[in-house]
A and B are shown apart, each in its own frame.
Chain A
Amino acid sequence: MTKLLQEAFNMVSYKFSQQEQDRLAHLIIENISKLRDFLEDESEERHFENIVVNTIKSPNIQNILGSVAEKYKNRKIINATAQ
């Protein structure tokens, strides 16, 4: 068992009641075959999210977002003045 998994199980053992720990154990045992798919799916989602954030933080996209915010702000001022 990896150190991190051990840490996770330790956390479960002191944060959850014995009944809840048993429920979790049953859940893992009954769904062990689905667990790998779930982990792969989760990992793909996190990976996709990281790529999105890195793309948004790139200088090119930041420049365009800055212009979008400026256009929004100017329009808001014009609308407020017109009312």
Chain B
Amino acid sequence: MKKILITQYFRKVLKKFKNHFNEQDIVSNIKEFMRIGFRKGEAKLTTELFDNITVEIVKLRIHVHNSVGRYLIGIIDKSEYLPIFIDLKTGHYGKNMSFNSDKKITSMLESAIENTLFDYLEHTKENQRLVEYIIEEQ
């Protein structure tokens, strides 16, 4: 069984992009990736191994109407798909980001990764910090 996990932090980030993408767009896009694999401009960036559990970091693209974005997901043990960071390729954010200094991009990424992973770590039945979408294997 595979799951897509949308954290509270990622939901908050998505609100900034509400004129372009919503949660359902992201879920559909990840489902498509699960079904067909990588498309043009998408790639696995790194695979980290922790005591037999792999965490892959993958860069995906999303195209909804006239909006194009790229986003990062973490894939835990090939079964849990966790969106981490999204960047609008054609909007102000994407354009500004290209001109941002490496230090600023690193700090934005670090903060997005930390906040997403803290939501994952702190999530319990009593303190829900993420929403699970169960994906049935086809």
Contact = CB atoms under 8 A, between A and B. Distances in A.
Nearest to A45: B41
B90 to A, nearest CB: 11
B55 A65 contact: yes
Contact of B48 (A56, A70, A73): A56
A68 B105 contact: no
Contacts of B52: 73
B117 A49 contact: no
Interface residues of A, number: 26
A31 interface: no
A61 B55 CA distance: 12
Contacts of A68: 55, 74, 76, 117, 120-121
B80 A72 contact: yes
Interface of A: 44-45, 48-49, 51-58, 60-62, 64-73, 76
Interface of B: 41, 43, 45-46, 48, 50-53, 55, 57, 59, 70, 72, 74, 76-77, 80, 87, 97-98, 102, 105-106, 109-110, 113-114, 117-118, 120-121
Given A64-B121, A68-B74, 16 more contacts: A48-B70, A48-B87, A51-B109, A52-B72, A52-B109, A53-B57, A54-B106, A56-B46, A56-B48, A61-B110, A61-B113, A65-B50, A68-B120, A69-B50, A72-B77, A72-B80
